Amino acid sequence: MKKFLNSPETLLAESLAGLAGAHADILKLGPDGRYVCRRQPVAGKVALISGGGAGHEPLHAGFVGLGMLDAACPGQVFTSPTPDQMLAAIAAVDGGAGVLFIVKNYAGDVMNFEMAAEMASEMTGEMTAAGSGPEILTVLTNDDVAVEESTWSSGRRGVAGTLVVEKLLGAAAEQGMGLADLKALGDRTNSLTRTMGVALSSCTVPAAGTPTFNLGEAEIEMGVGIHGEPGRRRQAFTSADAITDELLQAICDDLAAAGLEPGDILLFINGFGGTPLMELHLLYNSARHRLEQRGFRVQRSLVGSYVTSLEMAGASITVSLLDGQALRLWDSPVHTAALRWGC
């Protein structure tokens, strides 16, 4: 294992300190590195909080800032954050209009965010000036079409489509949308978003020191999860166009099964950490051509490594159906460590 680290035990803390230092104009690090939050809380706005295990950077801490998240709670690599982290984040960013959790569908994340919400609802003046805990609602993301059950989840996994949910909800919250309407928008966005990924190589968790799984030189894992969970099957390596065809077939079949017809979409090609941008743009070209042949209209695009799996070579394709409101929210200003436009 060759990685830039001093020790596996200090990797996350040192990385978060670096993130906060590099973006000190918009971010600050909470005590003991329990959360990353916006430099200044916004009074009267619903606070958006997400989080999950490290190793998927820039998700989630890289999406804290204007037009996206108010705080992110990072766990150790591929390990869920603990409820006390979410409680500390709530105390730091609650603006008095409620809190919305955005949670990927993994057992540990779901359990710990649920516990945090229950604990916050029972807390009194220690949490807020109003003397009671804030109202908290949750949006659960489960955009992965690869498998219905997985190593770490019951039901579909939340993967790269989580970025789309966080961007649209972040913009809507910035514009003053209330808590209940934000949850409804998040649930709707998730229901209109589908993702599937493929791995060309494994990844190595620093504390383990060995690859999470093994792939032969001529093998790929179709439908892999972002923690290296098994996908639909292991199969022979083939051309980029053939891989794109298989990913899009799964996505389009799933949209059709839900009664969703081709329309205006966001096309998001996401790298898993070890795939060059040259190859990601090649995948975008292949996917866009094939989607347009199916009647989809690509209105917005995103290409890059945003929801990663350490150094895994591979990528995912996300298709999210967009209406006029979603287009406007996607285009709204955002200023985070990883995404910035319009400001």
Contacts of 46 (CB under 8 A, 6+ apart): 95, 97, 98, 99, 100, 173, 177, 178, 179, 182
pLDDT at 149: 63
Report residue 73: phi and psi, to 5°: -115, 110
Cα gap 23→158, rounded to integer Å? 27
Summarised one tens digit per residue, pLDDT across range 243-259 is 999 999 999 999 999 99
Return the half-sphere exposure (C-beta side, CA atoms, 13 A cut-off) of residue 60: 35
What is the model's pLDDT at position 255? 98
Indicate the helix (H) or strand (E) that contains 109.
helix 107-122
Beta bridge partners of 139: 102
Q: DSSP string of 203-263?
A: -B-TTT-SBSS---TTEEEET--TTS---SEEEE---HHHHHHHHHHHHHHHHHHTTPPS-
Collapsing DSSP to helix, strand or coil, 310 comes out as: coil
Q: Which two tokens stand for residue 162?
A: 């989580």
What is the average pLDDT across 197-221?
A: 95
Residue-wise pLDDT tens digits, 46-56: 999 999 999 99
Predicted confidence (pLDDT) per residue in 111-151, tens digit: 999 999 999 987 744 544 445 679 999 999 999 999 876 56
Residue 125 is predicted with a pLDDT of 46
Q: Is-catalytic flag, 56? A: yes
Residue 285 has pLDDT above 50, yes or no: yes
Give the Å distances, CA to CA, from 279 to 100, 244, 314.
Answer: 36, 12, 10
Token pair of 261 as six digits: 């017809």
CA R_g for the chain: 19
* Strand intervals (E) in the chain: 27-29, 36-38, 47-54, 65-66, 71-77, 99-104, 136-141, 193-199, 219-222, 233-236, 264-271, 297-304, 314-321, 334-336, 340-341
Catalytic residue among 23, 56, 60, 335: 56
Per-residue pLDDT, 68: 98
Give mean pLDDT, residues 220-227: 95
Could you give the CA distance from residue 239 to residue 237 in angstroms, rounded to a whole number? 7
For residue 153, the model assigns a pLDDT of 58
Region 297-324: what's the mean pLDDT? Answer: 98
Q: What is the pLDDT of residue 128?
A: 45
Any idea which residue has 């060995």 for tokens?
Answer: 210
pLDDT value of position 327:
98
The two tokens of residue 157 are: 């996994």
When comparing pLDDT for 100 and 228, which is higher? 100
Q: How far apart are CA 29 and CA 179, in angstroms?
A: 25
Query: CB-based burial of residue 119 (10 Å sphere; 0-12 exposed, 13-18 middle, 19+ buried)?
Result: middle
* CA atoms in the 13 A half-sphere facing the CB of 266: 29
pLDDT digits (tens, 9 = 90+) for 164-204: 999 999 999 999 999 999 999 999 999 999 999 999 999 99
Residue 293 has pLDDT above 90, yes or no: yes
Active site residue 227: yes
Query: Which of 227, 281, 289, 335 is an active site residue?
Result: 227
Give, in order, the Cα–Cα distances in Å from 241 to each of 85, 220, 244, 295, 342.
43, 14, 5, 18, 34
pLDDT mean over 276-285: 98
* Block residue for tokens 């159906």: 321
Q: Would you call 65 helix, strand, or coil by DSSP?
A: strand
**Where do the domains of the chain lie, and which CATH numbers do they carry?**
13-180 (3.40.50.10440), 193-337 (3.30.1180.20)
Residue 151 has a pLDDT of 61
Q: What's the angle, vertex CA 309, arms to CA 320 and CA 307, rounded to 5?
A: 30
DSSP track, 150-176: -SS-SSSPP-THHHHHHHHHHHHHHTT
Q: At how many degrees (to 10) do helices 277-293 and 240-257 cross?
A: 50
- Which CA distances in Å does 13 have to 36, 49, 76, 241? 11, 19, 9, 40
Please say if the pLDDT value at position 216 is more than 70.
yes
Q: Identify the band that residue 231 occupies on the pLDDT scale cut at 50, 70 and 90.
A: confident
In the chain, % of residues over pLDDT 90:
91
Write out pLDDT tens, residues 59-91: 999 999 999 999 999 999 999 999 999 999 999
- Within 8 A by CB and 6+ apart from 1, the residues are 204, 206, 209, 210
